[in-house]
Structure 1
Amino acid sequence: MKVVIEDHLKKLGVTLAYTVVEFENETYSEKIWQELLNPLLQTIEEKDSIERIKDDEAMIATKKVYRALGKDPARFRPSSDSLWRRVIQKKGLYQINSLVDLNNYFSLKYKLPFGSYDAAKIAGEIRLGVGQEGESYSGIGKKAVNIENLMVLIDAAGAFGSPTSDSTRAMISDHTSQGLIVGYLFGGTDAAAMQKDIAVLVESYLKNGKVVEQGIV
């Protein structure tokens, strides 16, 4: 899989860590919830606060890039911010399917935006670029997502994902058998160590999970 980042985003310190995995998706994985998500959610509810989000180094670095691109991170929150706030406010997480649930665990653990996509619905090279003026796409659970000035993943068919909200085109379904997990990094994270951890968790917690490829760009 070829994944590239536009030069001006590289200069802002943006990195992508991606993992391609083959697996059998499940509507619900008790193992993921009981061993990973529930303990983490409990810890966050008991120990974290909105102030901690504001002071978190990864969150500060993420929002700095948003502002540099002209996107207000208070209106278009990084998914890691939205998830973290939701848990602190004791609203819980939606249970979707095993890959999406594991994706949310990664985001909460590393305090970074993560997206998971159906690799069969992605065409050709993947490029991390910036949405153009007036551009939008159909978002998951939303009629439209304004991606103008927002970092977006782009393939031959156009934009399909972002660190704020993903499109419906490449969304994970119960029938997805090859997934692409993308972590959006903004400096200060040990990407290599994170990728090793992700590989272990993917193969341990996704049914018949097998890492096909990993990369850091």
Structure 2
Amino acid sequence: MEDLHTTITKQANLEQAQLVTATFGFTNSKKDTAFWDTTLTPLLNEIEADLTLEQIRELPNITATKKAYKAVGLDAARHRPSSDSLLRRVVKGQGLYQINALVDVNNYLSLKLQLPIGSYDLAKIDGPISYQVAEEGAEYAGIGKGAINISHFPTLVDQQDAFGSPISDSTRAMIAPETTEAMLVVYAFGQSPAQLAAIEQTVKTVLQAAFNPEEITTEIIA
């Protein structure tokens, strides 16, 4: 597996932004029923019972993400962090869309960490990768959304174009049932070194339990 994670560079205009990445080989499936029963559904029930929409707005990781969005010229009320959108769906009792096993794990981690997370098919990425603010007028085909304007979005960009962001990912590098090598990216903002290390360990633990990959290679980009 090509170590694309080692080639991610962050541009200076994203000084508040951090990434925790994990690359791994795995066998995907339509649905891991055991993961839903033992891990994801209990978390959904806990969030729905314990959180309100008002409380979501005050969660430290949500407020830090929105602050970082404003710093790069985004309207944080219009462009919610994907973690914010997921939490709001659960609190409203709308549940989650079930896509495939890795997307379900991605959503679980986003809800647990309260941070935006994206998972990308390594076979569809043309490295090296940079993390940068998208230019005015930039757009891509968003998953389930058609063409979306990504002006000023923090974005992951390879040799072709932008493919991911903490707001909405593109269809180009999306995870499919046949995906066998993936990169999972936690989009963090304003975390301490200890917090980043804890995020890294949580990601490794959850991925190991869900897929038992031979190797998980992680990196913190701060």
Q: TM-score, normalised by structure 1?
A: 0.96
> Is 1:14 aligned to residue 17 of structure 2?
yes
Alpha-carbon distance in 2 for matches of 1:54, 1:101: 24
Secondary structure at 2:26 match in 1: strand
Shift of 1:214: 0.7
Separation in structure 2 between the aligned mates of residue 28 and residue 22 of structure 1, nearest angstrom: 17
Aligned to 1:56: 59
Correspondence for 2:196 among 186, 191, 194 = 191
Maintained 8 Å contact 2:28/2:102: yes
- Percent identical among aligned pairs is 44
Matched residue pairs, number? Answer: 214
In 1: Cα distance, 2:196 partner to 2:41 partner: 25
- The separation in 1 between residues aligned to 2:215 and 2:81, in whole angstroms, is 26
1: CA distance, partners of 2:105 / 2:34? 11
Question: What letter is aligned with 2:220?
Answer: I
The correspondence for 1:213, drawn from 213, 217, 220, is: 217
Moved more, 197-206 or 115-124: 197-206
- Asked if the contact 1:202–1:210 (Cα under 8 Å) also holds between the matched residues in 2, the reply is no
User: Unaligned 5+ residue runs, structure 2?
Assistant: none
Give the equivalent residue in structure 1 for 2:73: 70
- 1:34 and 2:42 aligned: no
In 2: Cα distance, 1:148 partner to 1:111 partner: 24
Pairwise CA distance, 1:212: 3.6
Give the one of 178, 182, 203 matched to 2:181: 178
Query: 1:19 corresponds to which letter in structure 2?
Result: A
Could you report, residue by residue, the CA deviation over 1:157-206 in whole angstroms, capped at 9, with x for unpaired residues? Answer: 01000001000000000000001000000023511122112112112112
SS at match of 1:24: coil
Q: CA RMSD in A?
A: 1.0
Q: Which runs of 4+ in 1 moved over 2 A?
A: 208-212
Tell me how far 1:18 sits from its aligned partner: 0.2
C-alpha separation in 1, matches of 2:166 and 2:91: 20
- Aligned equivalents of 2:183, 2:160: Cα separation in 1: 17
**Residue in structure 2 matched with residue 123 of structure 1 by the alignment:** 126
CA distance in 2: counterparts of 1:134 and 1:194, whole angstroms: 33
Residue 203 of structure 1 pairs with residue 203 of structure 2? no
Question: Cα offset for 1:31?
Answer: 1.8
* SS at structure 2 position matched to 1:132: coil
- Segments of structure 1 that go 5 or more residues without pairing to the other structure are none
Matched letter for residue 124 of structure 1: G
**1: CA distance, partners of 2:191 / 2:52:** 22
Does the CA-based 8 Å contact 2:13-2:133 persist in structure 1?
no
Structure 2 residue matching 1:15: 3-state secondary structure: strand
Which amino acid counterpart does residue 210 of structure 1 have in structure 2? Answer: E
